[in-house]
Amino acid sequence: MKKFLTIVLSLILYALVVLIILDKTNTVDVKIIKKEKSDDEYINNGLILSNENLSQSNGKEDKFYYNQLDNIAKIIYDKLIENKENLKSGTEQIEFTKNEFDNLLRKSDGLNILSNEYQNAVDALRYDDVEFYYVDFSKMILKTITYTRWRDVSYKVYLACNENEENYLDESITKDDINIQIEELEKKADEILQGAQGSNYQKIQYIHNWLIDNIKYDVTYSKPNTRNIYGALISEDVVCEGYAKSFKYLLDKLDIPCILVSGEAINSEEKRENHMWNYVKINEIWYAVDVTWDDPIILNNGELSKESRYKYFCQGDNININHFISAQITANGQEFEYPELYHKEQ
């Protein structure tokens, strides 16, 4: 009997030892991993809706400023568009239809009015069509010639290079250079836009991220083309104008409404500085995007956090805290009106 009890106790003890060993063998250290926020969770502080209803295309906003011009300025704007190819020469004179401005110029202040309308047309064109980057309109002048025959007075009006300039092209480029650059831009844009898939919102986000990942801010302010689309997409060294114009250029190609806006912004040193950024329209609602400020200069090889990356992406009127639009593009120019940004109810 004792022998039987000894055997039973031994078996029980053995079973307990096995269970303890198995328990230790199956013990796993569990490390709690904090899930990283998705890009969408960093965006807008809840301003934008879900992606589900953001797939509609509204059509590109290619004449936002043009549509606010007076008829005289529209005639000048249209003439410049019509002569887009001729302007590549840098010296071509652009003549208006005979007698087109005669009634205006017969007024005592007619020439001043026409000069102001010319400036308004140029302002609108530069902001509506960023592909005109190769023309330096400050080197172009509007000229008039008066013809008098008895009591009949008529006028010839044309655009020409300023007498103090060799041509009205930006930088030292030729027509051949311009055509090569445009071909480069088209090829690069096609390459970039292959990755722009999904809803309009997703496409906007993709373009925003591509620019941040591939463009550097030119802190020297001395490199060529830093204020245009060529500098952004080919040279990849720009200032705020290059960021904003390339953003519009690419969204225009996607038929997504986007406009340039400019004015002042309060920088990290609490100082006001001239600045340019964008408005985009999604499902008839306007949002602000500042690609430049979403790509801050990171010192000591640091990494850009997602929070910083989307701080100024698709924002509503809360961006007006430190971004101030100027109604005038140039001093004494036309005052343009801008759409209201999305307002989040408190």
Averaged in consecutive runs of 10 residues, what is the pLDDT profile of the chain (346 residues)?
Answer: 50 49 38 42 50 53 92 97 96 94 95 97 97 95 92 92 94 91 98 97 97 91 90 93 98 97 93 96 96 74 66 96 96 95 86
Cα distances (angstroms) measured from residue 84 to each of 144, 174, 265: 21, 14, 33
Cα distances (angstroms) measured from residue 59 to each of 64, 286, 326: 12, 14, 25
Cβ atoms of 138 and 329 closer than 8 Å? no
Q: What is the pLDDT of residue 11?
A: 54
Q: What is the pLDDT of residue 227?
A: 94
Q: What is the pLDDT of residue 155?
A: 94
Q: What is the pLDDT of residue 14?
A: 55
Main-chain phi, psi angles of 190, to 5 degrees: -60, -40
Cβ atoms of 228 and 245 closer than 8 Å? yes
- Cα separation of 122 and 145, whole Å? 21
By the 10 Å C-beta count (0-12 exposed, 13-18 middle, 19+ buried), 145 is classed as exposed
Q: What is the pLDDT of residue 40?
A: 56
* Geometric angle at alpha carbon 145, from 142 and 147, rounded to 5°: 155
Q: What is the pLDDT of residue 221?
A: 80
- The pTM for the full model equals 0.83
Q: What is the pLDDT of residue 152?
A: 87
Ordered alpha helix ranges (H), the chain = 2-25, 39-42, 71-82, 102-105, 110-128, 175-193, 200-214, 229-230, 240-253, 306-309
- Cα separation of 287 and 312, whole Å? 10
Q: What is the pLDDT of residue 345?
A: 80
Q: What is the pLDDT of residue 203?
A: 98
Instruction: Decide if domain 39-62+174-325 falls under CATH 3.10.620.
Output: yes
Q: What is the pLDDT of residue 301?
A: 52
Cβ atoms of 238 and 186 closer than 8 Å? no
Pairing mode, if any, of strands 216-217 and 237-238?
parallel
By the 10 Å C-beta count (0-12 exposed, 13-18 middle, 19+ buried), 230 is classed as buried
- Cα separation of 178 and 172, whole Å? 10
| Helix or strand holding residue 338 (H, E) | none
| Domain ranges in the chain with CATH number 3.10.620 | 39-62+174-325
